Structure 1
Amino acid sequence: MSAKLNIFITGATGYIGGSVVSCLLKHPQAASFEITALVRSAEKAEKLHTLGIKTVLGSYTDKDLGFLTKASANADVVFAIADSDVLPAAHAILGGLKIRHEKTGKAPILIHTSGLAIIMDDARGLHGDHKVYSDLESEALNAIAESVLHRDVDISIVAADKAGYVKAYLITPGTVFGYPSGPLVDLNIQNKHSIQLPYIIKPSIARKQGAYIGKGLNTWSAVDVNDTADLFIIIFDAAISNSPAAGHGTEGYYFAENFEYTGLEAAKTISEKLFELGLASSPEPNAFTQDELDKNFGSFWTLLSTNSRAKGDRGRALGWAPKFGKEEFLANVKEEVAFYANELKA
């Protein structure tokens, strides 16, 4: 690689992506990095420039994705942390990395964000009885059907690794919670809130009572946003040092998780906070009615009531040690209830 390590990152001002950028800026080797970030607005671009970050304007939803190919063709490392389900964007990035490989003779690195929905079932909140998958179970994971959420993109990326023109690592978080910090938060350009939790919190506020789906027995693995960013950096460090310990491609799934929670536990915590705020008549949750599910979520409600249980053994073998557990998660749920209650009131 050149004296400067060229890094291209998508989703750079997002919840996880912004946290990864902050980690890269304080990395011991940061002086040797040349970071380029994909952003949607010129205003965000200007603020990133103050941190020494170059920018490309655009998004995964643009009709012409040539800018993704061009930026990836100039990168030694790509962090793909924007929408994990846009196959044309993934193909554009892989096309650029193939050009990079042909030009340099070296396989560039792709660290892609997938998600634990790849192992979810159809529990509909009625049970928590589901296989706990380890990310070391490569054969089982690579056999998951292409029709499963995230898998069409994952399969294309693993195939590129198999073809030899990229080294691909797929970081696969469960429910991500917590509050990020760092220069992008200070500049007010990073999303600071969980993507998944508001799906349940906002309608619970509207109905003035915490709610679960079915019996609330569905179980998900969860991980703090800062712990997730740490996993990205551990894999990045292993990849750029060519560590043989870091599997990639078919051996490249890295689950990000540190504990499990149920839909019922989340609903009870939401109800307790609503009661504390004087917005609910009881601290006890109850079930969403079918009418509420249809109104608030459409057919998406079945995805919110799945089991998705995982063990992140591969990252831990590289030294990843997540710090934040269920106590911090439940406290964060309460903080998010207060935040969205205030936002919705305004």
Structure 2
Amino acid sequence: MVYKVLLFGATGYLGGTLLTELERTDEYDVTSVVRAERERVLKDRKTKILVASHAELSKIETASAEADIAINAATSDDLELTKAINRGLAQGKSAYSRAGVLVHVSGTQLIESKPTGKLEDVPKYNDQDLAQIEGIADSALHRLIDLEVARADREGEIKASIICPGVIFGHGSGPYKTISSPFPNLVRTALKNKRATYAGEGTNIWAHVHVQDVVDMLLRSIKHNLEASEPAGFARFYFAEHGEHQKLDFCTKMASILHAKGAVEDATPVSVPVSSPQAPSWPNRTTSRCYANRARAELGWKPRMLLENMFEGEVLDIWTALKDE
């Protein structure tokens, strides 16, 4: 059977890399939702194109009703878009016997600490601890959207999963954006300041995961949802992580690499106040730690790419992409 997929984020970093993998198989008939100004990016791709903004909710709802599977890799923070996707999938599932599957990409800013630039005594979240996941504060970033996804699944309207990655790294294989945000922000800030900087003590820690490993989880989640028979709510919430990094350690290694290329003036990073305009972006000032135990156990997910094995290549790839900005 060929499943109809509605993909959000096809010109983005993660969504574009996922699109490349979806196009390698004949299992999926993909339609990508893009804004008018990005339509040309997908002209030569296998995917069909739906030109729509995320504010065109009626169009989104109709397209979702015609799909078996919707994948939102575009935004973790648009509640009205999420509701429109859910309504459409629910209609397609009940009226047209569509699969009614949603794979929604969240992010581990959901569980981050305050931006202090030091290691905070916050929980290391385990996605197999359902009470812990259900107990995340409604005020957390992304949370209201995750709650809507879980509600629609729990009430049997759709079959949904939430993928919640840490910092995603690695070269993307999509048609437009091939680097992510948090690591490039550290490099960009270093280039701007002529020296690598970290916020506060730099002892704060984040989980990370390679983009191809996240895509593998997304693909496995699709198949798992298609086979699911019971509502799950947050029991299909999956962290994606394959290691952690301390910001000071990252910046120390990064500074040495960039200095060797003549991109910065000093091989040693320097601390700046959290509130300084020379400080890196918000996620690089906080702590966010998690275990991706559920995906390993339920989906057979086995991440392969270790940051420490490809660190220099990662920094140089980002530097190459940014140096002409």
Instruction: Tell me the TM-score normalized by structure 1.
Output: 0.86
Counterparts of 1:329 and 1:110 in 2: how far apart (Å)? 32
Structure 1 position 283 matched with structure 2 position 267 = yes
- How do 1:184-203 and structure 2 match up within 5 A? 184=174, 189-203=175-189
Aligned to 2:53: 59
Aligned to 1:258: 242
**How much has 1:49 moved relative to structure 2?**
5.3
Counterparts of 2:35 and 2:110 in 1: how far apart (Å)? 28
Identify which of 127, 132, 146 aligns with 2:138: 146
- SS of residue paired to 2:188: helix
Q: Give the conservation status (yes or no) of the 8 Å contact 1:101–1:108.
A: yes
Q: Give the conservation status (yes or no) of the 8 Å contact 2:168–2:208.
A: yes
Identify which of 223, 226, 231 aligns with 2:217: 231
Aligned to 1:33: 28
Q: Which amino acid aligns with 1:208?
A: K
Counterparts of 1:9 and 1:263 in 2: how far apart (Å)? 33
Q: Which amino acid aligns with 1:7?
A: V
Cα distance change, pair 128–264 in 1 and its aligned pair in 2 (3 A): farther
Cα distance change, pair 83–109 in 1 and its aligned pair in 2 (3 A): same
Counterparts of 1:337 and 1:268 in 2: how far apart (Å)? 16
Aligned to 2:311: 330
Structure 1 position 160 matched with structure 2 position 146 = no
Counterparts of 2:265 and 2:23 in 1: how far apart (Å)? 47
**How much has 1:107 moved relative to structure 2?**
5.5
Show CA shifts across 1:78-104 (max 9, x none). Answer: 111101101111111112112112313
- SS of residue paired to 2:185: helix
Q: Give the conservation status (yes or no) of the 8 Å contact 2:202–2:246.
A: yes
* Identity within the alignment, %: 28
- How do 1:11-22 and structure 2 match up within 5 A? 11-22=9-20
What root-mean-square deviation, in Å, do the aligned CA atoms of Structure 1 and Structure 2 show? 2.3
Please, which moves more after superposition, 16-25 or 101-110?
A: 101-110
Structure 1 position 10 matched with structure 2 position 8 = yes
Cα distance change, pair 308–329 in 1 and its aligned pair in 2 (3 A): farther
Show CA shifts across 1:125-157 (max 9, x none). Answer: 222543221111111111211210000100011
Structure 1 position 342 matched with structure 2 position 311 = no
Aligned to 1:216: 202
- SS of residue paired to 2:13: coil
Q: Give the conservation status (yes or no) of the 8 Å contact 2:8–2:73.
A: yes
Q: Which amino acid aligns with 1:309?
A: R
Counterparts of 1:160 and 1:341 in 2: how far apart (Å)? 40
**How much has 1:248 moved relative to structure 2?**
4.0
- SS of residue paired to 1:233: helix
Show CA shifts across 1:241-268 (max 9, x none). Answer: 3388xx8422011111100001102211
Identify which of 1, 21, 25 aligns with 1:23: 21
- SS of residue paired to 1:292: coil
- SS of residue paired to 2:323: helix
Structure 1 position 305 matched with structure 2 position 303 = no
Counterparts of 2:28 and 2:264 in 1: how far apart (Å)? 51
Counterparts of 1:150 and 1:272 in 2: how far apart (Å)? 35
Counterparts of 1:191 and 1:259 in 2: how far apart (Å)? 24
Cα distance change, pair 33–288 in 1 and its aligned pair in 2 (3 A): same
Please, which moves more after superposition, 324-333 or 167-176?
A: 324-333
Counterparts of 1:339 and 1:94 in 2: how far apart (Å)? 40
Cα distance change, pair 84–35 in 1 and its aligned pair in 2 (3 A): same
Q: Give the conservation status (yes or no) of the 8 Å contact 1:14–1:191.
A: yes
Aligned to 2:301: 320
Counterparts of 1:19 and 1:290 in 2: how far apart (Å)? 33
Q: Which sections of structure 1, spanning at least 5 residues, go unmatched?
A: none
Aligned to 1:95: 87
Q: Give the conservation status (yes or no) of the 8 Å contact 2:255–2:266.
A: yes
Structure 1 position 176 matched with structure 2 position 156 = no
Cα distance change, pair 88–332 in 1 and its aligned pair in 2 (3 A): farther
Q: Which amino acid aligns with 1:152?
A: L
- SS of residue paired to 1:37: strand
Counterparts of 1:37 and 1:308 in 2: how far apart (Å)? 31
Aligned to 1:204: 190
Show CA shifts across 1:55-97 (max 9, x none). Answer: 111232x3x3222111101111111110110111111111211
Structure 1 position 75 matched with structure 2 position 67 = yes
Please, which moves more after superposition, 139-148 or 276-285?
A: 276-285
Structure 1 position 110 matched with structure 2 position 102 = yes
- SS of residue paired to 1:16: helix
Q: Give the conservation status (yes or no) of the 8 Å contact 2:205–2:245.
A: yes
**How much has 1:326 moved relative to structure 2?**
2.5
